[in-house]
Structures are given as C-alpha cells and as structure tokens.
Amino acid sequence: MRARRLSAVGVGAVAALAVMSACGSGDNTAAGAGSQEAVTKGAGATTVSVVASTDVWGDVVKQIAGSLAGSTVQITSIITDPDADPHSYEANTQNQLALSKAKLVVENGGGYDDFVDTMLKTADNAGVTKLNAVDISGKTAPKGGDLNEHVWYDFPTVQKVAAQIEQALAKADPANAATYQGNESAFDQKLAAMESTEASIKSAHAGEGVAITEPVPLYMLQACGLDNKTPSEFSEAIEEGTDVSPAVLKQAEDLFNDKQVKLLAYNEQTSGPETEAVLKAAKANDITVVPVTETLPAGKDYLSWMQSNLAAIQTALG
C-alpha cells in the first residue's frame, strides 16, 4: 500500500467533536474543508445527502443529479482545493458530521482515501450506501506491482461508478428516478465520446513514448496507446515520497535528453527536487509538458477537465 494517502489525523478526537457539533447544529451549512451545495427545502421534501471524498467524485454525482444538485441532492465534497496534495489531507470534525448524515458516500478506494472508511466506523450511520470506485472498477494490482488507484482517469470505470450513483439516487429518491436515469445516460454518452478521442489518438500514435512523474494519468495514456517509458522505480518513489537514487534519476532524465518520449505528464500537486529535475530536462529538450492534477482545476467540471487533458495530449503528440 502506498505510504502517502489521504489520511485521517486524530479520528478519535474528530468523532468526539463531531458529536458535540451535531448536538448544537440543526442547519445544512457547508462542511468545513469541503464544499456543499444546499438549498432549504420545505417540510416533508426528500433530501439526499451525498458525501464524496474528493470533488472529482462529487462532480460525477452532480452530473447525475443535474438540476436537482443543491436542492434534492445535497453534495459535500471533502477535498476541493486544486492546489492541495490529496495524499497529505487531514480530515476534520465537519467531515465526520457530514458522513454521519449521508445517505450516499462515494469514495475512491484502493488505499487512496482510507480516512472515509475510518470515519464511517464512528459515524453511527448504518443506513448509508457506500460506493468504492476501485472495487467497482474490478482493477487489481499487476503481478509484482502496485495498484494504480487513480481510476477517475479511466472512463470505463467512471461509467460504472456513474451507473451505481444513478441507482443509489433513484433508490433514495424514487420520485426523480427518471431524471437521474436520463442524466446518467447523457453523461455516459459524453464519456463514450472521450473514449472515441482516445481511440483516435491510439490510431495515430500507438507505441509512442511518454513519461510521467506519478501514475496519476496512466490509465488515460494507456487508453491512448502510448508507451510509458518512465522507470517504475522513479514514479513509485515520487508517489510514495521516498528518495530517488542518482542512477534512476539519470535514467529518467535521459528519456528527454535522448528524445525517447513525446511528452511529460507532470503532476502539479506534488513537487520536489527529482520532479523538478525531470521537468527541467523536458523543457531543455523541447519536450511538451502536460500538467495533470488529482482534483478538479478551478473553473472545470469533470468532463471539461478530462476533455482538456485529452486535448493537451493531442497537441503534445502533434
């Protein structure tokens, strides 16, 4: 399991404080470090409270809820800061309170956001429906390797998760089941269009070399038929926050010095001497840098974000 993951710090204290908060709060205001879309509803109206570990999955929920997001469907995304490194996130009391009230929780899984499971154990919310994206994807670690948990860069997985979100929302709010179904169908069509873009890139550029700093966008690059030439020791060390040996760093830099790759997919949310070194090598050799992130960039929803990523890859490949 990766060493740097979304972590719950002081969960016991969080739980205790959450109980105190719950006793003194009767409104639906925003949940602390996350964001919440809420509208006061009339007595007797259905409200489906949804908590997502990151705004990536929160936005997928929003796509399925459509116009009902913010009213019938109240969405709290715990991690929303586009400048934050999700691996070092510290959960808080308001997150615990939101989880205790949720009817649906969407987490990434794969060791990425374990704090959700930890906090749910003390949330006293037996009726919650929990969707784990990695479990839904069916992906497993390759033999002798580690699972790439960044499954939101894999469109077939996102489609599977969206379908289960639609079913969960329809179960919690049967009166609007047709709306959720229609929104999920429209979302699925847009995902299919982006899969067609990946296929087009693959047709034109299959086998061309690329480099990464971390495995974040690897599912997308592989779907585009591109060959990740980065030494596994390099990208794994960067993701785990451990040192890269001089020999491995040189191997990574030589990918650019020897023009073995067409682009560098660079995770903007983590930085250090080794990643700066390969970034410098890419720029010195006129290799296009494609910035990637683990949370939504400002002003983007999931679909526009992924479309931008695909467009950047196309441009870099020429």
Domains of the chain, first to last: 11-191 (3.40.50.1980), 206-317 (3.40.50.1980)
Looking at the chain, the whole-number percentage of residues with pLDDT higher than 90 is 74
Specify the pLDDT at position 8.
Answer: 47
At 89 the pLDDT is: 74
| Residue 102 pLDDT greater than 90, yes or no | yes
* Residue among 136, 145, 294, 287 nearest 214 (CA): 294
List the structure tokens of 267.
Answer: 């995770």
- Confidence at 238, pLDDT banded by 50, 70, 90: very high
What percent of the chain is modeled with pLDDT above 70? 84
Give the pair of three-digit tokens for residue 271.
Answer: 């930085």
Residues 6+ apart with CB under 8 A from 192: 155
* Residue 129 bridge partners (DSSP): 104
| pTM attached to this predicted model | 0.87
Residue 77 belongs to what H/E stretch? Answer: strand 73-79
Both structure tokens of 28? 């639906």
Bridge partners of 210, per DSSP, are 228
